[in-house]
């Protein structure tokens, strides 16, 4: 193993589900509020290739949130399509431990960046992102989406690093696999209590108080 692999110089992270609380819990809260089965939305994404294709269009700004909501509402059995994506993501909030860890990494000299698949609605606090990150890659702004290899390479390029010099954190296995395919070290996020010790080991830094 090379020194580069042992001591990555860059940290790239996802937004929803990493810097925020669990997005799947937000999905469940939405479904329960609509009188649906708790996993109705997640199950639809898993089972419907057409819905996944429409989601990719949303993530790359080929369609807007209202258009995706109009596709989604009848499939879920939801009567009100307007503002549907806002309602689906209404249950997320900041994840302070992860935000603090990224801030600590940047202060320690690690180059930090965001790679996020957008959902057609502004869930980003730009002031916080500008504080945390040297590079920001949002799918709807660049026309790429995770797990396409190009979006990971773009994130590394914007940090001035090679993919092999970067650690990537995401809460979806397919996105971690995409990052690994271009040479990054990936960490599958399953809560700060598991992710932070792994990042401390990889970066050689203390990221917790």
Query: In this predicted model, what pLDDT tens digit does every residue of 152-190 receive, in sequence order?
Result: 999 999 999 999 999 999 999 999 999 999 999 999 999
Q: 65: which residues sit within 8 A by CB, 6+ positions away? A: 58, 84, 85, 86, 119, 120, 121
Q: Where do the structural domains in the chain lie, given as residue ranges?
A: 3-22+92-203, 23-88
The per-residue pLDDT for 1 is 40
Phi, psi (degrees; rounded to nearest 5) at 11: -125, 115
Report the mean per-residue pLDDT for the chain.
94
3 pLDDT higher than 60: no
What average pLDDT does this structure show over 104-113?
A: 97
Work out the pLDDT band at 2, boundaries 50, 70, 90.
very low
- Cβ proximity of 73 and 87 under 8 Å: no
Task: Provide the strand spans (E) within 51-194.
Answer: 111-116, 135-138, 166-170, 185-188
Query: In this predicted model, what pLDDT tens digit does every residue of 13-31 receive, in sequence order?
Result: 999 999 999 999 999 999 9
The per-residue pLDDT for 6 is 65
Work out the pLDDT band at 208, boundaries 50, 70, 90.
confident
Residue for token digits 């009100």?
80
Beta bridge partners of 169: 13, 187
Q: How many CB atoms lie within 10 A of CB 42?
A: 15
Cα 60 to Cα 81, 130, 202: the distances in Å are 20, 22, 31
- Cβ proximity of 196 and 97 under 8 Å: yes
Question: According to CATH, what is the number of the domain 3-22+92-203?
Answer: 3.40.50.1000
């Amino acid at each position: 193993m090379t020194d580069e692999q042992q001591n990555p110089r860059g940290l790239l992270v996802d937004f929803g589900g990493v810097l925020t609380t669990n997005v799947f819990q937000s999905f469940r809260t939405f479904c329960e509020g609509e009188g649906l089965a708790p996993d109705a939305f997640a199950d639809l994404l898993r089972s419907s290739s057409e819905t996944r294709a429409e989601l990719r269009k949303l993530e790359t700004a080929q369609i807007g949130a209202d258009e995706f909501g109009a596709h989604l509402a009848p499939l879920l059995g939801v009567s009100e399509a307007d503002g549907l994506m806002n309602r689906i993501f209404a249950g997320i909030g900041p994840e302070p431990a992860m935000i603090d860890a990224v801030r600590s990494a940047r202060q320690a000299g690690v180059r930090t960046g965001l790679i996020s698949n957008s959902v057609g609605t502004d869930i980003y606090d730009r002031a916080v992102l500008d504080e945390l990150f040297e590079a920001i890659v949002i799918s709807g702004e660049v026309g790429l989406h995770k797990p396409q290899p190009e979006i990971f390479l773009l994130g590394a390029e914007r940090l001035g690093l090679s993919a092999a010099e970067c650690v990537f954190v995401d809460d979806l296995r397919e996105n971690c696999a995409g990052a690994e395919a271009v040479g990054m070290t990936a960490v599958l996020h399953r809560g700060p209590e598991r992710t932070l010790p792994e990042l401390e080991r990889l970066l050689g830094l203390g990221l917790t108080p």
